[in-house]
Copies of this chain bind each other. A is one copy, B any other.
């Protein structure tokens, strides 16, 4: 959503509340938080645990989206705007209570690459924007260090005699950096003779693609973090036995590196709404949402919690519900499905270059995609969807009215929202629709309201087929024999009951990024499967997955600078 430097200018002009005041607004004793400067803090896990003892959990609102265009439809901005909008609503209706935000931390890769930062945009931002987009509180550096220590210890084990009989051709852990570094996608390491270790092919990933990141985001405590880290399968031996982080003796050291990072980070929106920004796993080979501990912290401390899941609802929302909510015992009270007229036109057959040209017919044509996601959420997961159409300057009133009318005609709640331009007040209609949807869902126990798209005790292959057919509208899945054997091996090793984490294109409900709208009769071709034993899911790869992005010819880094007064410029 970022427009060059406007976001940073707005962020820098903002007057932030001291973070102790933000903590106090959540009834957190300022002395119990861990400050990082005066506008960022971590909230210790034991403080959160104590607060949870006496708290009624808030209502959880998930923000997801229709299948996006490459420009993105503004989920993060909507999440921020909605939270501010709920608090705006509470000013006139105190019964609403207080809303808290729970988002992912940005990776530095896109900041220096093409996409820019991920702290929202316009008047819907979390601040301090430049801190959040750069090192923030050091979580990603800690995750990278932990991941890389495991990789180093594994290669060191091989170098010093390889007692575990690690097969250098069957190493799964990859080193990571938090940059888009194309040249590290495919490398050979261990060269240079005796002094350089044992040669082998290797690959670097961006830190958000690591299993350590996924583990970090699903851990429920430091003890659980250590157990999950220990379970990560880093390699197989020559006789095909899994070799874990525990086997190489690294679980304790990795936990030591991550212990402090595991406490959720607290910042604020431009409107001083408390925001937990913590963890940021990829939405393809991982589950794509912020840390479970941060979401639980927000539910403990807030009456409303707005959170976001990556990519479109077929990927992000499905994983959020089937993986994270199932693991955490939480369940949303409503789901916001973000759409734009641009994306609707794109799914209605308009080319990207023409999506700003008024075309009401294409808007309606593209509804098939948006409605498919909404229907999934309602009929499969039992949730009430609220469509949020983010307003852009090129949108016409006629197109907008046609879009909203169409959805209303299908019985789907839908509003237009202008939080980018107007902040929380621009999202009040959205907030009202969300409150209404949540109230219709009732306040029953989360575990009782939960309806998953598949049951864990089904065979792995059946779970994959169920997701493909129910969520993607596919006719079937195509799983090659080699992949079937791997699934059987996972089941034999005791991992058959894990949930599924699909990695496929976000641009289509199918695995073909050019298939727009709501395709039917398509086949989901599974290329490979990977075990994430620490995170606790089986990754199903159905398409190109990118685990190390590259920089464009003119990366954003070229425009980033520091003035003589020490101000950062060019960040967006």
Binding site for B on A (CB under 8 A): 34-38, 46, 108, 112, 130-131, 134-135, 138, 141-142, 144-145, 148-149, 151-153, 155-156, 159-161, 175, 177-192, 195-198, 222-223, 226, 249-250, 252-253, 255-257, 259-260, 550-553, 555, 557-562, 564, 566, 568-571
Contact = CB atoms under 8 A, between A and B. Distances in A.
20 contacts: A46-B566, A131-B260, A134-B257, A135-B260, A138-B138, A141-B141, A141-B144, A141-B145, A148-B181, A149-B557, A153-B557, A155-B181, A156-B183, A156-B553, A160-B552, A182-B190, A182-B196, A183-B196, A249-B558, A250-B557
Nearest to A198: B183
A247 to B, nearest CB: 12
A38 B555 CA distance: 38
A424 to B, nearest CB: 29
B34 A37 contact: yes
* Residue of A134, A182, A185, A198 with most chain B CB atoms under a 10 A cut-off: A182
A301 B559 CA distance: 37
Contacts of A223: 564
A568 B553 CA distance: 45
B189 A156 contact: no
Q: Is the contact region of chain A dominated by helix, strand, or loop, or is it mixed?
A: mixed
Contacts of A253: 112, 557-558, 560-561
A148 B144 CA distance: 13
A192 B547 CA distance: 14
Contacts of A175: 177, 184
Contacts of A181: 148, 151-152, 155
B179 A189 contact: no
Given A161-B553, A182-B155, A256 B190 contact: no
A196 B547 CA distance: 12
Contact of A108 (B145, B161, B551): B145
How many copies altogether? 2
B562 A222 contact: yes
B252 A561 contact: yes
A110 to B, nearest CB: 13
Contacts of A108: 145
A102 to B, nearest CB: 23
Nearest to A153: B557
A560 B181 CA distance: 31
B249 A179 contact: no
Contact of A152 (B142, B152, B180): B180
A555 B153 contact: yes
Contacts of A34: 37-38
A388 B516 CA distance: 77
A156 B185 CA distance: 13
A189 B187 contact: yes
Contacts of A191: 185-188
Given A112-B149, A134-B257, A183-B197, 6 more contacts: A36-B36, A112-B253, A152-B179, A155-B183, A185-B191, A249-B557
A285 to B, nearest CB: 18
A550 B152 CA distance: 9
Nearest to A226: B562
B566 A259 contact: yes
A100 to B, nearest CB: 23
Nearest to A37: B34
**8 tightest A-B CB contacts, nearest first:** A252-B561, A186-B192, A141-B141, A183-B197, A186-B191, A253-B557, A155-B183, A160-B553
A187 to B, nearest CB: 5
Contact of A185 (B148, B195, B558): B195
A252 B182 contact: no
A26 B156 CA distance: 45
A22 to B, nearest CB: 15
Contacts of A155: 181-183
A187 B255 CA distance: 29
Contacts of A138: 135, 138, 141
A182 B156 CA distance: 8
* Residue of A142, A185, A198 with most chain B CB atoms under a 10 A cut-off: A185
Contacts of A145: 108, 135, 141, 178-179
